[in-house]
Chain A
Amino acid sequence: MNYKMSLPIAAVLLAGLCASPALAEDKGVIVAFVPSSTNPYIGQWAKGAQAKAGELGYTLKVIENNFNQAEQDSQVQQQLASGEKVAGYVWWPFENAAGVGSLRALSQSGAPVIVSNQYPIKGTEAYWTAYAGANDFLSGKTAAEILLDACAKSGVKCDKGAIIRFPAGVSAGDDRATGFQDAVKGKLDVLTVVPTAGFLEDEGYKVAAQIIPANKGQLTWLYTENDSLAGAAAQAARENGLVPGKDILIVGGTCHGDSKHVKNGEIAGTAIQSGYWEGWMAVQALGKFNTQGKVQDGETYLADNPDAPPADSDPVFKYNFLPNPAVGNSQAAYDAAKMWGKSADELCNF
């Protein structure tokens, strides 16, 4: 069992356990099940969730698993067996499909369940109250729009290209690739879709450094599903004599990793997908439901207001999506970009 909790979370948890229910401030405990925060994005998510929970008067308990669904399942069993009264659960399964049993068990406890980050599987609607998190189709679509826009602007002839995607089985990878391909249908020619073995620079470089020379003179664009992979692909392109932004257009579509490739124009642009705000909005959705007592059918994209986060009084829908505001590929554009009152730099460089 591997409860890796950062010290402040543990401290808050202790405080939560000790606090008596008589305190008017305390609205109860929210329990979030997430993979390990050794992944920086998940670490950001936990920070955002913590911030919103504190603001709303909840105590947040984050239970991390070490990227292991079996471990997460047993954590759910233990949490339920403890009989603790909770204000609600937040569910981020490690393996979406494999975790359905645990999701069902959580829902049967009677407490509201907010699903985050992993887009729920069709047919499980009865097991969760609302989804609040990223929309990976949207991420792929936004990336496609950035790319098409860049093609039009730069005058580079865009036809054949390749997708470097997340490892097989990662649903975010499937969804982003689908969203991207739907958006470029009839406009761009996808030569090949190559999965990596990971999400970081070293893997992105490994794959890009092999497919770029193999398709020399053919590739005009690359979509890599995140900016870590995109930055590494830009490096590989340069090493193969291609100037990113001129000979080849590269887009990651989610700011993740080093922003320097966006700022210096090597990547055609990016979009803010903030782990911090995703955690924040998941807790907000739970808070909304506990106050308003109802969920509206359908979906909503929260407004990507640069200066202020969405109000707690807004209704909560069955699907609540995190916006992916696009960011231009220059220092100025990057500096100006903001989402919900935080700068791109704060949200992307964690």
Chain B
Amino acid sequence: MGQKTVLYDTHVLQGAKIVDFGGWEMPLHYGSQIDEHNVVRRDSGMFDVSHMGVVDLRGDRVLEFLRGLLANDVARLKTPGKALYSCMLLPSGGVIDDLIVYFMSDTWFRLVVNAGTRAKDLAWIRRHAMSCSVSVAERDDLAMIAIQGPKARERVLPILPAAWRTRASKLAVFQGGCFDSWFIARTGYTGEDGFEVMLPVVDAIATWTALRATGIQPAGLGARDTLRLEAGMNLYGNDMDEDHHPLECGLAWTVAFEPAERDFIGRQVLEGLGRTSDDELVGLLLEERGVLRSHQKIIPAGEVTSGTFSPTLNRSIALARVPRNTASPVQVEIRGKLHVASIVKPPFVRHGRALIPIQP
């Protein structure tokens, strides 16, 4: 049996189909993955993401430490609560994990890391933290709920204590804030507006139930995957891993080469490559019936890294790693047959709208 979040019994009572996800017993869906996907695009849905790792880093030299640890530059964060997306790299440039880092104060940063990579991330962070006297604390006392969709914020605000509401309603995109022992951030993994809420484990069930009562639908990890792929967001283990550096993963925008004197782990190798790569990550739109899946082969060259059926576009879409400047269309081998797919620029969908032209 895998690990369970504090909301496990609540999910089972609400009819969740439970699957193993990185060693955690998580809801795949509560009946229909497609309905859950659509309700997030049109109204709001909520996800239990308590399996993700929340890690607090504290110390006088925590800024210096993170500027060496992460490929993006935390010195860009000027406002307390502000978030930054970054990769954590091996000296080879390979991606150990992708994460969100929040600037809490001059001596405190908070990381949110993937569930499946949590143990190796912690080991890596601890190993490097010692030289900067930074303390590393896993926050197992916190649960995390992501509420996403165009109506997510207006549905969440009324259940918050009155004293928090005005400040919570004014959070800018990619900005969070502490509210007593809670942390509320306007972030997400769906391409929609919304909040990610970190809250004490003891508050999680009552909060989930209150959110449900405002009309927010529970949504499983199945919908989370189709939503993130439509939004053109990478999934660790599929679209990036230790064998690929960020420039091969569509993540050049997350690598801060300036200022030139900042020496982060992995920089040397990326500089040696001329800050570019032979392969790149692109979006694919299947022009025929069928479903793109990871590891399908691309002709002339390359491989699908994440593929699914897009409920919003009613077509199959994918992220794929191909040689730079590959001409569109390409062909994808699905069960021994070749199918035509166009190369498109992700995201496929943002804020409920299709961003790529679809020929009916």
Whether chain B is bound by chain A comes out as no
Q: What is the interface of chain A, defined by CB distance below 8 A to chain B? A: none
Q: What is the interface of chain B, defined by CB distance below 8 A to chain A? A: none
